[in-house]
Amino acid sequence: MWYQKFLICLAYDLFDFTVGRLLFPVPFIGEILGCLICTKMFGQDGVLYALEAIDVTEQIDGFIPLATIIALKNKMNEV
């Protein structure tokens, strides 16, 4: 089950890195969506995804795979 969650997080981070900031014309919608996905999969640890909102320019946060980091952090909880 953890591997499926990991792949979802990896895919979302790849999406955020490539076209995410261009497809979300509303500021912070990508962060809200990512936070909802991570919270649904990992509970309270998923709220850490909200840290991507620190970058208001939407240029740097794509380089930090935060959803994948959250998934790796929770690996021992689910394996």
* Regions of the chain with pLDDT less than 70: 24-25, 78-79
Q: Where are the domains of the chain?
A: 2-78
Terminal C-alpha separation, the chain: 8
Q: Which of 70, 49, 44 is nearest to 61 (CA)?
A: 49
pTM listed for this prediction: 0.86
- Looking at residue 66, its pLDDT comes to 92
- Looking at residue 79, its pLDDT comes to 59
Q: Which of 78, 73, 64, 12 is nearest to 46 (CA)?
A: 73
- Looking at residue 24, its pLDDT comes to 64
